[in-house]
């Protein structure tokens, strides 16, 4: 029997050495698997050079991460599962908070002078945006924020910045690590809009002073499954209550606008560039677009994981053609990127036999993912006069997938679940303005393509 992973366990020795003397300098909202596998890993290595930037991890809803990791002093394991495997104990999370239990603790932390950066992985829906990408003032969490009870990440960031301004401190930099196109600008506009409702001067101050860099994040991180803790325990010789798993590949590109005093993330392999847009479009449209395509088509064909779907020759050649012939023409790749090589590398990552990435996990929240991953590509294709037939197939497959779940009485995991469970037929889906911009929904070529794909599935 092995003991639990704690600072005293031998598996933790290296992580403890790196974090010796470290202080909290970063507040992170949403410490799910992706944050822990990705950003926490970069900060773990940074702490070794600079002890100012440990993480305080704030859960906005559930106490489950805190409950699992607090007895381990925030330590957890990243299992890198690939053709070669590796296990790292990470010590960058120094504090764990659950916002609804003590909002004041989160706010006073945000307003303390040592905090230089706020990061967020709250998923697409966590930003509470409407179909046009603007903050939805009618969203229940935003209504609570407006009533003076910070609830969403937008509410916490706005109130945290207000307290800093009032205390004469510089604003913290705000870094979205979610898969949204132009994530920094959307985050900023949402915070400014919220602030403007109650304090126009605060809105102006945030607009003028606070940095919200645009970012691209990439590392395939399947949710922790039942098999992982035992696998980790064998590897590290200690029991970790909630390890995470990811592929070896890991990339973080940040727009080079961080203020002075921000953590030197470039020193641990983060790419800083003035032009994130190309990286972002390549990643969201090629990787995530292909992922969602495999998810809906793969589930309809009875596959369970990404690797299974890639083992289906018909599906893998469909996805490859989609990426090369239909998506790539809409992507302005950053200078120096070898686009065919990028596509080949993604397909190879999808074939990773060492992880079971469930298609159902990727299929969640489709109403928020499709616009970012596929509909922008389709709109660009239409205006450039390209064919969009193949691109319409995953859109139709999403509709079929939702209908199938609803008919089977299976819970639909999506912020639009109530509306989606009632939708049947292409027209009903296309009428959802939160998903399909009206101009796209009205486009005859698009409607025809979706209808014929829907009929053929």
How many positions of this chain bind ligand CS2 (CB under 6 A)?
9
Residue 35 or 193 having the CB closest to ligand CS2: 35
Rounded CA separation 22/94 (Å): 8
Residue 154 or 306 having the CB closest to ligand CS2: 306
Dihedral pair phi/psi, residue 215, rounded to 5°: -135, 160
108-to-56, 145, 159, 160, 313 alpha-carbon distances in Å: 12, 16, 10, 8, 55
Please tell me whether residue 245 binds ligand CS2 under the rule CB under 6 A: no
Residue 197 or 361 having the CB closest to ligand CS2: 361
341-to-154, 347, 348 alpha-carbon distances in Å: 38, 10, 10
Contact letters for ligand CS2, residues 290-329 (x by CB under 6 A): -x--------------------------------------
One of 80, 152, 219, 393 touching ligand CS2 (CB under 6 A): 219
Residue 141 structure tokens: 């969490």
Dihedral of CA atoms 119, 152, 137, 169 in degrees, nearest 10, equals: -60
Please tell me whether residue 178 binds ligand CS2 under the rule CB under 6 A: no
Please tell me whether residue 253 binds ligand CS2 under the rule CB under 6 A: no
Residue 392 structure tokens: 């319409």
Residue 161 or 352 having the CB closest to ligand CS2: 352
Closest approach of ligand CS2 to the CB of residue 373, in Å: 8
Rounded CA separation 214/11 (Å): 36
What 3-state class would DSSP assign to 344?
helix
Question: Which one of the spans 22-30, 68-76, 216-224, 330-338 is the region binding ligand CS2 (CB under 6 A)?
Answer: 216-224
Site for ligand CS2 in 65-84 (CB under 6 A): none
Dihedral pair phi/psi, residue 449, rounded to 5°: -65, -40
One of 47, 115, 180, 220 touching ligand CS2 (CB under 6 A): 220
Contact 15, 75 (CB under 8 A): yes
Look-up of token digits 């489709």: 366
Closest approach of ligand CS2 to the CB of residue 184, in Å: 17
Closest approach of ligand CS2 to the CB of residue 245, in Å: 12
Please tell me whether residue 420 binds ligand CS2 under the rule CB under 6 A: no
Please tell me whether residue 90 binds ligand CS2 under the rule CB under 6 A: no
Residue 161 or 219 having the CB closest to ligand CS2: 219
Contact letters for ligand CS2, residues 354-373 (x by CB under 6 A): -------xx------x----
The 8 Å CB, 24+ separation contacts for 72-75 are 72/4, 72/5, 72/6, 72/240, 72/241, 73/6, 73/7, 75/5, 75/6, 75/7, 75/12, 75/15, 75/240
Question: Which one of the spans 19-27, 67-75, 107-115, 214-222 is the region binding ligand CS2 (CB under 6 A)?
Answer: 214-222
Residue 97 structure tokens: 């908070």
Closest approach of ligand CS2 to the CB of residue 41, in Å: 13
Q: Write out the residues near ligand CS2 by the rule CB under 6 A.
A: 179, 218-220, 288, 291, 361-362, 369
């Amino acid at each position: 029997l092995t003991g639990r992973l704690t600072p005293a366990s031998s598996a933790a020795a290296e992580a403890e050495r790196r974090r010796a003397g470290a202080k909290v300098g970063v507040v992170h909202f949403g410490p799910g698997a992706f944050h822990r596998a990705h950003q926490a890993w970069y900060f773990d290595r940074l702490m070794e050079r600079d002890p100012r930037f440990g993480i305080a991890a704030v859960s906005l809803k559930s106490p489950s991460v805190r409950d699992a990791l607090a007895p381990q002093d925030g330590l957890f394991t990243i299992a890198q599962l690939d053709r070669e495997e590796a296990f790292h104990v990470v010590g960058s999370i120094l504090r764990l908070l659950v916002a609804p239990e003590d909002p004041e603790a989160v706010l006073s932390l945000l307003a303390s002078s040592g905090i230089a950066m706020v990061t967020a992985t709250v998923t697409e829906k966590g930003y509470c945006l409407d179909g046009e990408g603007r903050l939805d003032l009618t969203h229940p969490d935003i209504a609570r924020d407006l009533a003076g009870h910070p609830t969403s990440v937008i509410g916490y960031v706005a109130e945290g910045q207000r307290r800093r301004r009032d205390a004469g401190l510089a604003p913290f930099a705000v870094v979205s690590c979610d898969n949204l196109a132009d994530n920094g600008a959307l985050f900023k506009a949402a915070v400014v809009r919220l602030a403007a409702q109650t304090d126009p001067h605060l809105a102006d101050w945030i607009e003028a002073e606070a940095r919200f860099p645009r970012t691209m994040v990439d590392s395939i991180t399947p949710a922790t499954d039942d098999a992982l803790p035992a696998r980790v325990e064998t590897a590290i010789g200690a029991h970790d209550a909630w390890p995470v798993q990811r592929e070896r590949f890991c990339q973080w590109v940040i727009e080079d606008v961080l203020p002075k005093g921000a953590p030197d993330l470039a020193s641990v392999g983060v790419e800083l560039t003035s032009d994130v847009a190309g990286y972002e479009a390549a990643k969201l449209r090629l990787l995530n677009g292909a992922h969602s395509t495999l998810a809906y088509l793969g589930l309809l064909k009875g596959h369970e994981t990404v690797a299974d779907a890639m083992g289906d020759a018909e599906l893998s050649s469909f996805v490859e053609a989609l990426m090369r012939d239909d998506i790539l023409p809409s992507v302005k790749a950053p200078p120096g990127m070898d686009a065919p090589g990028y596509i080949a590398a993604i397909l190879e990552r999808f074939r990773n036999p060492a992880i079971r990435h469930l298609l159902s996990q990727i299929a969640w929240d489709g109403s928020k993912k499709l616009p970012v991953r596929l509909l922008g590509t389709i709109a660009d294709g239409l205006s450039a006069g390209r064919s969009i037939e193949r691109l319409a197939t995953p859109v139709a497959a999403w509709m079929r997938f939702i209908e199938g779940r609803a008919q089977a009485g299976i819970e639909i995991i999506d912020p639009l679940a109530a509306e989606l469970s009632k939708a049947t037929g292409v027209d009903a889906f296309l009428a959802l303005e939160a998903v399909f911009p009206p101009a796209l929904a009205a486009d005859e070529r698009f409607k025809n393509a979706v209808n014929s794909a829907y009929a053929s599935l």
